[in-house]
Amino acid sequence: MTSSRVNGTAKKEGVASPPTSADRITVALIPKAEGDLKLLQDRTSLSKTDLVNRAITLYEFIDSQQRAGRDLLVRDQQTGQTQAILIL
């Protein structure tokens, strides 16, 4: 029986096996981030895993938009006031 890896997936006899489980990481949170995570869990009822995944996806979107030269804006729906967001 032959075995090889294609795109990170093990193949045996020409049949790809399902991908392995997601990457796992351990993160040391500063107290502010820990408190914010707890507030988000309480407000959204989402798990820590869901919140971290969403945070990474959101940061990637923001980073790609800024690198493309786009402005990120927040508008207050009641006052109409608009503020630019700058993440360094």
pLDDT, tens only, 25-65: 999 999 999 999 999 999 999 999 999 999 999 999 999 99
Domains: count for the chain = 1
How far apart, in whole angstroms, are the C-alpha atoms of residue 35 and residue 74? Answer: 23
Domain that holds residue 61: 3-85
| Residue 22 confidence class, pLDDT cut points 50, 70, 90 | confident
Q: Which residue has the higher pLDDT, 5 or 86?
A: 86
Amino acid identity, position 24: R
CATH number, position 54: 4.10.520
How far apart, in whole angstroms, are the C-alpha atoms of residue 12 and residue 21? Answer: 19
